[in-house]
Amino acid sequence: MMRFIVLLVFLFLYIPIAYVVASSFIDGGEITAKWYVKLFEDKVIVGAFYNSLSIALLSTFSSVSLGTIAAYAFLRGSQRFESLLYTPIVIPEITEALSLLLFYKMLSFPLGFYSVLLGHIAFNIAFVFVIVKARLSTQLRTLEEASLTLGADEIQTFLRVTIPLALPGIVAASLIAFTLSWDNFVKTVFTTGPGFQTLPLLIWSQAARGVVSPSLSALTTLMLMISFLLAYLYAKISTRRE
């Protein structure tokens, strides 16, 4: 009986996705990849793709740099200011989004690429901080001390001990930060300006009117594939660490 419910739930979770993927290959009555071809020819879509990619890469790089050294700073035990770095995760996204919009308005900051980027970096820092901190060995300080007593100075210790041990956490956090930025909708839509589109915004502009189309399904399928790829990479990193 329980197995039946479990099966139903999994079917529920995956049938819509399967449907989208399937319908993206169908035109009229035949199976075709023409929708995908059209995607690559559509300048607007390609533009949005590059926008999404640049924002994701830049926000990942910035947030991972800032968040990692912050995690390193808070390594031994909790200190008072630590929860200040967690808060962006707990606050609902829409509240963060509109607060940024007001902030930009007050400063007359132009809305577009940079306004979106700065917002992405803000919430990514929090996630990077949490992930890197969780994966940094609590032994790290002692290991660094051992390195110092063996004759390595601070820089050598950083390169030979700290970085190698922090790397798995940094890579994991990078994947997550990239995904969050790449997929982000709510914050982006509030902080974007005229003419600046990312892929999620593009999908929204069509789907919001209740439009379900094969080309949109194709775009969605591509995005899904990218998500699965990122998930796969993350799993690979996690298991390699043991």
b/e sequence 129-141, b meaning 16+ C-beta within 10 Å: bbbbbebbeeebe
Among 25, 66, 114, 215, binds another protein (CB under 8 A): 66
| DSSP symbols for 158-202 | IIIIIHHHHHHHHHHHHHHHHHHHHH--HHHHHH--TT---HHHH
CB nearer another protein, residue 39 or residue 161: 161
Q: Are 75 and 140 in contact (CB under 8 A)?
A: yes
Q: Are 177 and 59 in contact (CB under 8 A)?
A: yes
State the minimum distance, in angstroms, from the CB of residue 14 to another protein: 8
Among 49, 129, 178, 196, binds another protein (CB under 8 A): 129
Binding of another protein by 58 (CB under 8 A): no
In the range 68-107, which residues lie near another protein by CB under 8 A?
69-70, 72-75, 79, 81, 83-96, 98-103, 105-106
Among 9, 37, 44, 46, binds another protein (CB under 8 A): 9
Binding of another protein by 114 (CB under 8 A): no
State the minimum distance, in angstroms, from the CB of residue 174 to another protein: 14
Q: Does the CA dihedral 16-21-24-29 come out positive or negative?
A: negative
State the minimum distance, in angstroms, from the CB of residue 193 to another protein: 12
